[in-house]
A and B are shown apart, each in its own frame.
Chain A
């Protein structure tokens, strides 16, 4: 029995969540007194993973998987789990991996716990803490199955260094035609922009901005902070900003280190989607806005006065 971690990569490079799940998998292996192996698909340089405890790395290179394919990825992970005799698979919570995890659970006849926020509190019975009720509660879940899949919630366990002298070996996989029942035809992606999923900081704005023409200062603030831009649901419904920027209950989830909400009142649906962020700052003219109850830092003031000053002061701070 061992622990298998999937370190997902995008265009060959790892994201922070890959280091987070390797850190997590290493610690779970220690709890169980076993070893950890990490599998990668078309990653360019796996040596970074050793810093976080990856003792053994299986590298898969496959032309057919250059574009993401959920069933193909599932096959790879299943074959790696079998080869490593792994009964626990640790995954992150990126959009692609969330697509793969339930299929892998069936392939391995495994229980699957998603949105996991901490190491197992006990290993017998295997008990882990998950987020539930759209961040309004946690569930301590017992996993009864021999095989277990753990989906770690983004930015919940954190990245922990645990350097080892790891080794890597290439891992051959067999894919069949039936793995490609869904094919990718076209990918449209804004290039050079920080995505909400990857961002450490998210700058989000709402109807308080009065119109789409006023977003220049939001984009400038995001640029100064290296942040992604986001918006509230009314703003995307009004067509002021693209749907992909809508964060909240029915939009994208946010679990950044810093979330800055400008001119957003903080409806419960919005808060449900962004509550996993560590530090929340609100700027709003209305001191009664519900967001002030959910935020860590607040400024009661007019965004059109506060934000330009914040941009200038941050530029000076960054330059210093």
Chain B
């Protein structure tokens, strides 16, 4: 089984979000970038398929050269090879079309992604990619088993889970549950050394117009200070929630 894992290069969750150049660019100054947490769950499941079922695992990212350390980290975790499509990722449909080209050229059986990235939160690339290459698609996956070309999946739904059956080739967008938090791997020294020797191929993008473009960014309005209510004055809280906030 040939697995492709799509990796987004995102600011660490604890990053301060600021904008520069008249609020038209995300300020990367002082920001640490990581593998998108949702993608990391899927990458870890891919490692399981590699170790238990002999799958090969390639990771791919659409981004400029600054994203390579993130791809190297994925190699250090255990992926066999990496591909970087040399283009800034600014629009979901653009990224999906670039990834579709990689999928078509690589003959992958299973494409694993995260449900969404924690920077633009679009949640659209996996489904678009599946439609572009005409693969079966399951979103929000919290469990996947593959037997030959038969795939059994569990998807999270409102208030529960749904079990699906499908067949390869597939695109599956994972989230916590596809592996547990405790299954995530921190690259060890040997992995980091080996990652340096693994192939990282740079491919040039298809020329495609962006479907959408961020024109400017804003930060949320500053929040007022919390209103503190004494622990022995619950009546005051109920009064505020009813008369001021109007939520009860």
Known: A137-B219, A296-B227. A143 touches B159 (CB 8 A): no
What are some 14 contacts across the A-B interface (CB < 8 A)? A10-B158, A96-B157, A101-B127, A105-B131, A111-B91, A111-B211, A111-B212, A141-B215, A144-B209, A187-B162, A188-B160, A197-B159, A243-B176, A297-B228
Task: Please indicate the chain B residues that have their CB under 8 angstroms from the CB of A249 in the complex.
Answer: 13, 37, 118
A135: interface (CB < 8 Å): yes
Please report the C-alpha to C-alpha distance between residue A74 and residue B136 in the assembled complex, in whole angstroms: 13
CB closest chain-A residue, reference B142: A243
Query: Which B residues are within 8 Å of any A CB, using their own CB?
Result: 11, 13-14, 17, 19, 26, 37-38, 41, 91-93, 96, 118-128, 130-132, 136-140, 142, 152-153, 156-167, 175-177, 180-182, 209-220, 223-224, 226-231, 234-235, 237-238, 240-242, 245, 247-248
Known: A244-B159, A297-B241. A111 touches B214 (CB 8 A): no
Task: Please indicate the chain A residues that have their CB under 8 angstroms from the CB of B242 in the complex.
Answer: 317
Known: A258-B245, A296-B226, A317-B248. A309 touches B156 (CB 8 A): no
Tell me the minimal C-beta distance from B152 to chain A in angstroms: 8
Which 6 A-B residue pairs are closest in the complex by CB-CB distance? Answer: A102-B127, A301-B231, A111-B211, A189-B160, A106-B131, A195-B159
CB closest chain-B residue, reference A136: B17
Known: A183-B166, A299-B228. A140 touches B14 (CB 8 A): no
Contact present for A112 and B166 (CB under 8 Å)? no
A66: interface (CB < 8 Å): no
Task: Please indicate the chain A residues that have their CB under 8 angstroms from the CB of B124 in the complex.
Answer: 101-102, 105, 112, 114
Task: Please indicate the chain A residues that have their CB under 8 angstroms from the CB of B26 in the complex.
Answer: 133
A142: interface (CB < 8 Å): yes
Please report the C-alpha to C-alpha distance between residue A314 and residue B242 in the assembled complex, in whole angstroms: 11
Please report the C-alpha to C-alpha distance between residue A137 and residue B152 in the assembled complex, in whole angstroms: 37
A134: interface (CB < 8 Å): yes
Please report the C-alpha to C-alpha distance between residue A306 and residue B228 in the assembled complex, in whole angstroms: 14
> Which of A106, A113, A143, A182 contacts B166 (CB under 8 A)?
A182
CB closest chain-A residue, reference B122: A114
> Which of B212, B220, B224 contacts A142 (CB under 8 A)?
B212
Please report the C-alpha to C-alpha distance between residue A106 and residue B125 in the assembled complex, in whole angstroms: 10
CB closest chain-B residue, reference A314: B238
Contact present for A299 and B237 (CB under 8 Å)? yes
CB closest chain-B residue, reference A193: B159
Task: Please indicate the chain A residues that have their CB under 8 angstroms from the CB of B234 in the complex.
Answer: 306, 309-310, 313
> Which of B14, B19, B125, B166 contacts A181 (CB under 8 A)?
B166
Tell me the minimal C-beta distance from A138 to chain B in angstroms: 4
Contact present for B217 and A132 (CB under 8 Å)? yes
How many chain A residues have a CB neighbour from B under 8 Å?
93
Task: Please indicate the chain B residues that have their CB under 8 angstroms from the CB of A317 in the complex.
Answer: 238, 242, 248
Contact present for A268 and B163 (CB under 8 Å)? no
CB closest chain-B residue, reference A181: B136
> Which of B96, B119, B139, B152 contacts A98 (CB under 8 A)?
B139
Task: Give the interface segment out of A18-26, A79-87, A274-282.
Answer: A274-282
CB closest chain-A residue, reference B228: A298
Scoring A residues 83 to 110 as 1 if CB is less than 8 Å from chain B, else 0, what string do you get? Answer: 0000000000011101111110111001
Task: Please indicate the chain A residues that have their CB under 8 angstroms from the CB of B152 in the complex.
Answer: 185
Query: Which A residues are within 8 Å of any B CB, using their own CB?
Result: 10, 68, 70-71, 74, 94-96, 98-103, 105-107, 110-115, 127, 129, 131-145, 181-190, 193, 195-198, 200-201, 225, 233, 237, 243-244, 246, 249-251, 257-258, 268-269, 272, 278-279, 281-282, 292-302, 305-306, 309-310, 313-314, 317
Tell me the minimal C-beta distance from B89 to chain A in angstroms: 13
Contact present for A143 and B245 (CB under 8 Å)? no
Task: Please indicate the chain B residues that have their CB under 8 angstroms from the CB of A132 in the complex.
Answer: 119-121, 214, 217
Tell me the minimal C-beta distance from B6 to chain A in angstroms: 13
Please report the C-alpha to C-alpha distance between residue A184 and residue B223 in the assembled complex, in whole angstroms: 44
Contact present for B229 and A298 (CB under 8 Å)? yes
Please report the C-alpha to C-alpha distance between residue A237 and residue B184 in the assembled complex, in whole angstroms: 13
Tell me the minimal C-beta distance from A249 to chain B in angstroms: 6
Task: Please indicate the chain A residues that have their CB under 8 angstroms from the CB of B140 in the complex.
Answer: 95, 98-99
Contact present for A300 and B228 (CB under 8 Å)? yes
A sample of 19 more A-B contacts (CB under 8 A), given A136-B17, A244-B159, A244-B161, is: A98-B139, A102-B92, A112-B128, A133-B11, A137-B219, A138-B217, A142-B213, A144-B212, A145-B211, A181-B136, A182-B153, A185-B163, A187-B163, A188-B163, A249-B118, A250-B175, A282-B226, A298-B228, A299-B228
Please report the C-alpha to C-alpha distance between residue A300 and residue B231 in the assembled complex, in whole angstroms: 6
CB closest chain-B residue, reference A98: B123
> Which of B120, B142, B162 contacts A184 (CB under 8 A)?
B162
Task: Please indicate the chain A residues that have their CB under 8 angstroms from the CB of B220 in the complex.
Answer: 135-138
CB closest chain-A residue, reference B140: A95
